């Protein structure tokens, strides 16, 4: 299955494309870049170099939409526990997770803002400074 991704590297680089071989327990995956000719080889990406992978509805997003920070009052989700993730670059993400484990290299976060363009985010733990679970 082809997955639409916006890949954020730890150095700030961002690339967009499709992947059919990303798995959260694998160290590498391949990305066919958005405007890449079909005859060109996909980009090989090492998960250890990443900040996060954003699985998106489309590549254009909703630039005019004001992004919500935080959780709505009384907000609940079928996607698990509320969590705030802080990255080394000081960015914060708010969402829900079922699969967090300190022993894994990453975990999926389902955004608190469910009407946005992100369907889910794979957070790479090596670029995280703080994970706070909210009651």
Q: Model's pTM, two decimal places? A: 0.91
Instruction: Give the pLDDT confidence of 36-90 residue by residue, as tens digits.
Output: 898 999 999 999 999 999 999 999 877 766 666 777 777 777 778 999 999 999 9
CA distances from 62 to 34, 72, 113, 119 (A): 18, 20, 13, 13
Give the position of tokens 């000081």: 90
Q: Three-state DSSP class for 125?
A: helix
DSSP class of residue 76 equals -
- pLDDT at position 102, please? 87
Q: Give DSSP secondary structure letters for 99-113.
A: ---TTSSEEEEEES-
- pLDDT at position 124, please? 98
Q: Rounded distance, CA 46 to CA 57, Å?
A: 23
- pLDDT at position 121, please? 97
Instruction: Give the pLDDT confidence of 1-28 residue by residue, as tens digits.
Output: 789 999 999 999 999 999 999 999 999 9
Q: Three-state DSSP class for 56?
A: strand
- pLDDT at position 115, please? 80
Domain chopping of the chain, boundaries? 3-62+75-134
């Amino acid at each position: 299955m082809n997955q639409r991704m916006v890949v954020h590297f730890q150095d700030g680089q961002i690339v967009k494309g499709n992947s059919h071989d990303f798995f959260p327990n694998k160290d590498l995956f391949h990305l066919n870049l958005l405007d890449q000719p079909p005859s060109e080889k996909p980009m090989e990406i090492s998960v250890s170099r990443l900040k996060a992978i954003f699985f998106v509805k489309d590549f254009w997003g909703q630039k005019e939409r004001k992004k919500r920070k935080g959780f709505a009052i009384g907000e609940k989700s079928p996607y698990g526990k509320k969590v705030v993730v802080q990255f080394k670059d000081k960015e914060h993400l708010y969402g829900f997770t079922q699969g967090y484990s300190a022993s894994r290299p990453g975990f999926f976060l389902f955004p608190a803002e469910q009407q946005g363009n992100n369907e889910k985010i794979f957070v790479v733990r090596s670029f995280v400074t703080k994970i706070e679970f909210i009651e």
